[in-house]
Each structure stands twice: as structure tokens, then as C-alpha cells.
A and B are shown apart, each in its own frame.
Chain A
Amino acid sequence: MSLRQDTRTGSVRRRTGGQLPLVLLLPALVGLAFLLVPLIGLLIKAPWSTLPSRLFSADIWQALRLSLLCATLATTVCLLLGIPLAWLLARASLPGRGLIRALVTVPLVLPPVVGGVALLLVLGRRGLIGERLDLWFGFSLPFTTAGVVVAEAFVAMPFLVISVEGALRAADPRYEEAAATLGAGRWLTFRRVTLPSIAPGVVAGAVLCWARALGEFGATITFAGNLPGRTTTMPLAVYLALETDPDVAVVLSLVLLLVSVVVLASLRERWISGLR
């Protein structure tokens, strides 16, 4: 009797190792479906018969090229400004750091359209800074490709800052001390010791940042408008096409989806998983 019980508990224990509790499994599957079904819908409703001819329309490639260019430039801007900002938040002893950190993350929760309006108020032709730029340099950001980059960087930067700051906090500052005892100044230490040690965090942040910039719509259309070839990125083109020719909107969405999945999947495997 006791022997049977023992064997039974033994086999139960063996099975529980690979079994997920139903309470978790069900919502997990629903969540997965929730994320995937719209994408599958996109595939089903795609105008497959006319797809090849539509794909080779110049408008799509123009918008795609502009999207990739702007997202990449915006990511570069975010890297150049965001890494030092993250360093400041993680390492410097500055007063009101909590408040600054909260402010940095505001663009995350702000509706992008509001961000666009704010950018217009500051950098627009009549804006606080924009007016000076126009007056002194004859240079105006709104409704230009540079404006798209600014709008995308504004919205995407928090992703980079949060990711890099987290990596900096997790990095062991004693390595920086070791570098200092070897005669390295703070800039050399940052370049040769700190930055390489947080590289996975920087890459993960840059990927998130790039993805956010690529899909940016609200701030872009508000601040940079919708000028084909100059400010019409893929999301804008999709929105525009939806009103005139929904089939084109589907094709544009598929292209954007494909590019995003390929880029994110290849980077995710190599870098984001390496973060852990």
C-alpha cells in the first residue's frame, strides 16, 4: 500500500516539472491570439492577385526608404544624446534626480500628437526657438525630413534612456575604479570600460528606440506634416491610403510588418536575449 503511494507521488512529481498551470496557460494563449490575429487578418485580406504590381509602385519604396532613413537617424540622435543623459541619471549626484527621471519618461505616456503640438510650439516657425532659427539661419524644422527625425527622436528617446540607465545601474562601478587606478581619466574610462560593459543594454535600447521611431505617426504628422517624398513615412502613407485605396494601405502595412519583423527578430535573437 505504502509502496504504491510512493510510486504514485514519484510519477506525479515527474510530470509536474513540465506542466503549466491552466490559470496561466489560458490567458497566455488568449494574449498571444490577441496580438497575432490582427496580423493574420492583414495577411488574409491582402490583395494577393494585384500585390506584385502594387509592390512596384514608386510611392511605397519612397515611403519605406524615408521611414528607414528617418528611424535610423532618429536612433542616432537618441544614442548621441540619450546615453549621456542616462549616464547623468545613473551616476551623477544631481538634485531632484527622481523628478528629472519622471520628466524624461513623459514622452512615453504623452499622446504623440500632443508631443507634436509641443514641438510645433517650440520649434515651429513662430515657436520659442524656431523663430530664432528662422531669423538667424533661415532654417526651419517643421514640414521637413529633419522635422520627421526630430519628432521621432522626441518620442523614441525615453526607450533608449530607460534601457541604458538600467544597464548602467546594473554595471559594477568597481571596474571604473580599476580603470582609474590604471591611469584612465573619466572619458577614457567611459569609452573603454563603461560603454563596452553596457553594450547589450545600449543595443536593446537602440532597437526599441528604432522600432518606436519606425512606427511613429502622431508627432510626425503634427510636426512634420504629410509631404510625399519629404515627410510621408510608412505609417502616414498607410493612413493616407486608407482613405483613398484601402488595398494599398494593406500592402503598405504588409511591407512595414515584414521589415519590422525581420529587423527585430534578427536583433532580438542576438542582443536582447544576451542581456539576461
Chain B
Amino acid sequence: MTLYADVRVSRGAFDLSLDLTVEPGEVVALLGPNGAGKTTALRAIAGLLPVGAGRVALDDEVWDEPPRVFRTPDRRPIGVVFQDYLLFDHLSALENVAFGLRARGVEKHAARAEALRWLGAVGLASYARSRPRALSGGQAQRVALVRALATSPSVLLLDEPLAALDASTTLHVRAELGQHLNRYEGRTLLVTHDPLDAMVLADRLVIVENGRIVQQGRPTDIARRPRTDYVAQLVGLNLYRGTATNTTVALTDGGTITLAEPASGPVHVAFPPTAVSLYPEPPTGSPRNTWPAVVTGIEQHAHTVRVRLDATPTGPTTLLADITPAAVADLHLTPGQHLHATLKATEIHTYPS
């Protein structure tokens, strides 16, 4: 069963019009700047906001189709993780997770047993009696996630699920969230303004700007072929999978990257295009991440030039570098040209995949 959401909402000068589908088992990220209408779309699918026009349906089960049909949120098979989680402060973690089951008519003891099982699944069984206030940000996020999942919803909606966390916990929680989303068999819609969250967690990105979809597709495709400057800025990120052994990561598609900090096992490696520098000759002092590369494309953006490179066999297959127009002139950049690319190891982010 596919979630179809043709969401059209007008509010004063702001006008939202998105047409989305989410397949079972798929994670779709709605990515865009603040005020783009992402959260409005999520609220409309949840039924917290009626659409002005359009249609929200799970296959042929219509949830919202003005003017005739409107199902209130409590009659939609959904689970929502809110940005600041909205855990009920007067209830324990266990009662929070059991709330949805109880509301859907599950008997008290069965609901509590099921809630405890869910808490156990995210390693929080020993926090069952804790009040939400007593939990750390990461723990509260996990409670919010299992509270949403406990009712076995057909559609899982996540509104900026990582935005309320501090940077040090985000890495860990993001990896964990990814695992839970992989295991979840329903349809997931993730709203985020963070390209990294979107690219790591989602199977498909839908990029929204001013209430409209500007591009959608697989994260790697979008990163390689951004259709607008905005998308290029947003997802302009070099992101690779690989296996780390100490400070060396063997990339899945060939080539290696050297890290500043040791890591191990399967990892994601990410760095911004601004971390890549280009030289006509091998640079002196030989930084560890130096690869011979061929220019495959040049794009002019607002203040920078994005260069696409192929650094095989020693480096990544596709590599994005942002350089200044002046540097383009110095290097006499043309497609097919051979250069040397270096990467600052300190700008590399690594996280378990």
C-alpha cells in the first residue's frame, strides 16, 4: 500500500503544493530550508492540519479529500516523532510508550508488556519508570521513536528528529535511527533541514523550496547532479561508504581515504566540497589524501565554482570540489584536464553506517 499525498495548503501569501508518494519500506526525506513548508506538509499528512485542496490517501483508503473526507489524526494509522518529542511529562517512559496502545484499545497489562518490549529494543528497559525530564536528549528521542512505532503504524512521520540533540550525541543517535528505520516495514517520511541527516537516513530525497518540490531522487544522484544552485549548496556534500581500519577507509567503490581520527568497521565518510583543493602539480609536503584526478564537469554557482572530478583508482570515483573563480582562471580548468586533488583530513566527518 502506497501513501499518496497531494498536499495543497494556502496561508496568506504562503502557498504549499507538494505531490508525494511513499512506498512500503521506503524512507523519503523532505529536505529544505526553514519555512519551506516541510512541517506543514507533515502536519497535513498526520491530519493535524486539513489540506486546502488535494488528497491524502493510503492506497484507496482516503484520509483527506476536501470537501467531503477528513479523518482526524486519531483515526489514521500513523506514528509521529515530533521535533522536541512532546513526551508526556506526567507519565513514565513506559506509560508514554504504552499510551498509543491503550488509546487503541489494548488491555492495560498487554500494553505495558508490549511497551516494555519496545523500550528493550532501544536499550531503555531499565529506564521504564523514568520521567521524560530525567532522560537525556538521545534517550528521550528513542522513547519518542518507540512511542510512535509501538502502535505498528502504516506511516511513520518524523519532524526534525535530530534537531534537538547536541552535536556529540547526534552522530550516534543518527546511526541508531537509521537502523530502526531500516527495520521498519511501513512508509517513512522524514522532515529535515539537515542534508546530512537526509542523505544518510533516506532512500529518496524530496527537496522543497518555497512550498514547491525543486528536485527529487536518490541522494547520490542529487548530490552528483543538483538541478539548481540551491540544491547544489544544500546537498553539496561528498559522501561515501567504506570500511575503516585504523585511520584508513577502503571505499566501497574503490580508492582509499585517510582519516585524522582512527575508526573501525563500516562507516560513512563525508566532507564538504570546500575541503578539497586542486593543484596542477603534486603538492609539496605530500598531504596524505592526495589523488591524481580528472575533471569531469565544471558548474558555476553564485560565488564559487563546483568542479566534478574522477579520482580513481587511488581516490573516490566522484569527487566534488568548490573553488573560487580566480582559481579556475589560474588553473585554466577544462573538462578532461589532469590535476591533483588534496583533502584536509580535519574536515572529514566519519560515522558508523
A and B, one complex?
yes
- Which residues of A approach B to under 8 Å, CB–CB? 172, 174-175, 177-185, 188, 192-193, 196-197, 199
Q: Is the CB of A180 within 8 A of B73?
A: yes
Closest approach, in angstroms, between the C-beta of A202 and any C-beta of chain B?
Answer: 13
Q: Is the CB of B86 within 8 A of A183?
A: no
Flag the segment in B74-82, B267-275, B329-337, B341-349 that touches A: B74-82
Q: In this complex, which of B48, B72, B74, B151 has the most chain A Cβ atoms within 10 angstroms of its Cβ?
A: B74
Residues of A within 8 A of B79 (CB): 181-182
Number of A-B residue pairs having CB atoms within 8 Å of each other in the complex: 60
Q: Is the CB of A177 within 8 A of B151?
A: no
Closest approach, in angstroms, between the C-beta of B114 and any C-beta of chain A?
Answer: 14
> Given the known A-B contacts A182-B151, A193-B88, are A177 and B73 also in contact in the complex, defined by CB atoms under 8 Å?
yes
> Given the known A-B contacts A174-B82, A174-B86, A175-B88, are A181 and B99 also in contact in the complex, defined by CB atoms under 8 Å?
no
Residues of A within 8 A of B86 (CB): 172, 174-175, 177-178
Residues of A within 8 A of B157 (CB): 181
28 residue pairs bridging A and B, Cβ less than 8 Å apart: A172-B86, A174-B82, A174-B86, A177-B48, A177-B73, A179-B88, A179-B99, A181-B46, A181-B47, A181-B74, A181-B76, A181-B78, A181-B80, A181-B148, A182-B99, A182-B151, A183-B74, A183-B100, A184-B74, A185-B74, A185-B103, A188-B103, A192-B88, A192-B99, A196-B88, A196-B90, A197-B88, A197-B89
Q: Is the CB of A180 within 8 A of B90?
A: no
Residues of B within 8 A of A179 (CB): 88, 99, 103
Closest approach, in angstroms, between the C-beta of A176 and any C-beta of chain B?
Answer: 10
Q: Is the CB of A180 within 8 A of B82?
A: no
- Which residues of B approach A to under 8 Å, CB–CB? 46-48, 72-74, 76, 78-80, 82, 86, 88-90, 99-100, 103-104, 147-148, 151, 157
Q: Is the CB of B48 within 8 A of A181?
A: yes
Name the residue on B nearest A184 (C-beta). B103
CA distance A196 to B100 in the complex (A): 17
Q: Is the CB of A182 within 8 A of B90?
A: no
Closest approach, in angstroms, between the C-beta of A197 and any C-beta of chain B?
Answer: 7
Q: Is the CB of A182 within 8 A of B100?
A: yes
Closest approach, in angstroms, between the C-beta of A191 and any C-beta of chain B?
Answer: 11
Residues of B within 8 A of A174 (CB): 82, 86
Closest approach, in angstroms, between the C-beta of B303 and any C-beta of chain A?
Answer: 39
In the A-B complex, the 8 residue pairs with the closest CB atoms: A182-B100, A184-B103, A180-B73, A183-B103, A178-B86, A181-B80, A196-B90, A183-B104
Residues of B within 8 A of A182 (CB): 74, 79, 99-100, 103, 147-148, 151
> Given the known A-B contacts A175-B88, A192-B99, are A180 and B72 also in contact in the complex, defined by CB atoms under 8 Å?
yes
> Given the known A-B contacts A183-B74, A184-B74, A193-B88, are A178 and B103 also in contact in the complex, defined by CB atoms under 8 Å?
no
Name the residue on B nearest A188 (C-beta). B103
Closest approach, in angstroms, between the C-beta of A231 and any C-beta of chain B?
Answer: 40
Q: Is the CB of A178 within 8 A of B104?
A: no
Residues of A within 8 A of B46 (CB): 181
Name the residue on B nearest A197 (C-beta). B90
Name the residue on B nearest A181 (C-beta). B80
